Amino acid sequence: MMTQKEMILQYMKDDGSITPWEAMRELGIMRLGARIWDLKHDGIGIKTEKVKSKNRYGRTTQYARYSLLEAQE
């Protein structure tokens, strides 16, 4: 059985990046930011991109998209 960190790493390798919504929907992981912190603490190079979009009410919202640094892909 894979750990949450292993699932996140595999997802980023397979799909290129991961967002909190993808982590929850695809992997059942609710605290992606905490697991990303753990991975960074373990020495894994991860890039954080802030993404802006509109919510269903037309308001601008922001979320993070995480990807592996190129040296580790």
Amino acid at 64: A
Radius of gyration of the chain (CA): 13
The pTM of this model reads: 0.88
The answer, yes or no, to whether residue 72 has pLDDT greater than 70, is: no
The answer, yes or no, to whether residue 7 has pLDDT greater than 60, is: yes
Angle at 60 between CA 58 and CA 63, to 5 degrees: 130
Q: Does residue 28 lie in a domain region? A: yes
Cα 55 from Cα 63, distance rounded (Å): 11
E strand map for the chain: 46-54, 60-68
The answer, yes or no, to whether residue 70 has pLDDT greater than 90, is: no
Number of domains in the chain: 1
More confident residue, 57 or 73: 57
Q: Which domain covers residue 10, as residue numbers?
A: 4-68
The CATH number given to whatever domain includes residue 12 is: 1.10.10
pLDDT tens figures, 8-59: 999 999 999 999 999 999 999 999 999 999 999 999 999 999 999 999 999 9
Contact by Cβ (8 Å): 5, 42: yes
